[in-house]
Amino acid sequence: MLPRKIDQILSRVDRLWPMPTSVNRTLRAMEDPMITAGYVAELIALDQALAASVLQMANSAAMGFTVNCTSINEAVMRLGFKRLKNLIMSIVAEGPLSRNLSGYRIGAGDLWNHAISTAVTAQWLAQAVGYGDPDEAYLAGLLHDIGKLLLDQYIVLDYSKMIDLMQRYNLRLWQVEEQLLGIDHAAVGGLMAEKWNYPVVLIDAIRCHHAPSLARTRPELPAIVNVANALSAQVGVTNKELFVNEIHPESYNILRLSEDTLEQLRKRVGEYLSASRSQSRI
Ligand SMILES: [Fe+2]
Ligand SMILES: [Fe+2]
């Protein structure tokens, strides 16, 4: 693909993924090591919808809290900046990632479900292999496939050709995207994250989630996302042919991942997914 075309694709990011000013301001404030919880709470309180979600999360049993808190200030203290950042990113990401992707033939909500299950799995895996920042792993898992949102409109005409190539030559989705469009969804996602000035480690995790050894920084996070993606695709998605469900061989070495750990994780992911499926049926 010509560089001009990639620029054209990227120029659509802002329309595709609008970041409300209040959210942007809050996220940026949390980067400042001198910032206080009180100030962050004030910023959140300016956005009613955001404030409501933060309060709801701080009182959620799923997060392990049993005593109710009623003020944003208390909620911020309770969650801590890292969890809060993940929560805000999830709120921002849910709309765009829940869309129906007609090019990829991914139904409404499917990519979001895949993102959430990959995020949760990445967090568990990070804890299991002793990665220092499980919250960062959650965020990387949540955002790993954002590139599909931008590539979707370029896939429309080529979908049947894509499936045909995948089946005939036993290629993965990202390999076919690269052949047909000159760039794959992981690289596009990495460029999006670069445009938003994300930390390099997160950019790399998105860009290299199908090829973790290519990371410019440490390859652990891309490897964690690679494994989490494969596990959540093995047990979680409906349109299976479009989700890569193989673990890259390098990921085993990078994470020193044992079959035991993997098996336990696979079981946990399976239980999590069947619980969320039965919850959504209620
Ligand atoms: Fe992917
Ligand atoms: Fe994925």
Q: Which CATH number covers residue 39? A: 1.10.3210.10
Q: Which two tokens stand for residue 90?
A: 């999830």
Among 80, 98, 116, the domain-final residue is 98
Q: Give residue 43 CA to ligand 2 midpoint distance, Å.
A: 33
Find tokens 């409404």 and name the residue. 108
Domain coverage including residue 50: 1-98
Closest CA to 245 of 172, 164, 175: 172
> How far is ligand 2, taken at its centre, from the CA of residue 246, in Å?
11
Residues 149 and 96: beta-carbon distance below 8 Å: yes
Same domain, 5 and 145: no
Q: Which of 98, 125, 152 is the last residue of a domain?
A: 98
pLDDT score, position 242: 66
Instruction: Select the more confidently predicted residue: 149 or 217.
Output: 149
Counting ligands in written order, the one closest to the CA of 113 is 2
Find the 148 Cα to ligand 2 centroid distance in Å.
9
Question: Ligand 2 center to residue 225 CA distance, Å?
Answer: 9
Same domain, residue pair 68 and 205: no
- Does residue 216 contact residue 156 with C-beta atoms inside 8 Å? no
Of 70, 98, 126, the domain-final residue: 98
**Are residues 271 and 154 both part of a single domain?**
yes
Q: How confident is the model at residue 240 (pLDDT cuts 50, 70, 90)?
A: low
Query: For residues 254 and 218, which has the higher predicted lDDT (pLDDT)?
Result: 254
When pLDDT is averaged across residues 223-246 and rounded to a whole number, the result is 78
Q: What percent of the chain has pLDDT over 90?
A: 44
Residue 280 CA to ligand 1 center (angstroms) comes to: 25
pLDDT surpassing 90 at residue 66 = no
Tell me, yes or no, whether 146 and 55 share the same domain.
Answer: no
Please tell me the total count of domains within the chain.
2
- Give residue 238's Cα distance to chain centre: 18
Are 238 and 110 a contacting pair, CB within 8 Å? Answer: yes
Per-chain residues with Cβ under 5 A from ion ligand 2: 145, 229
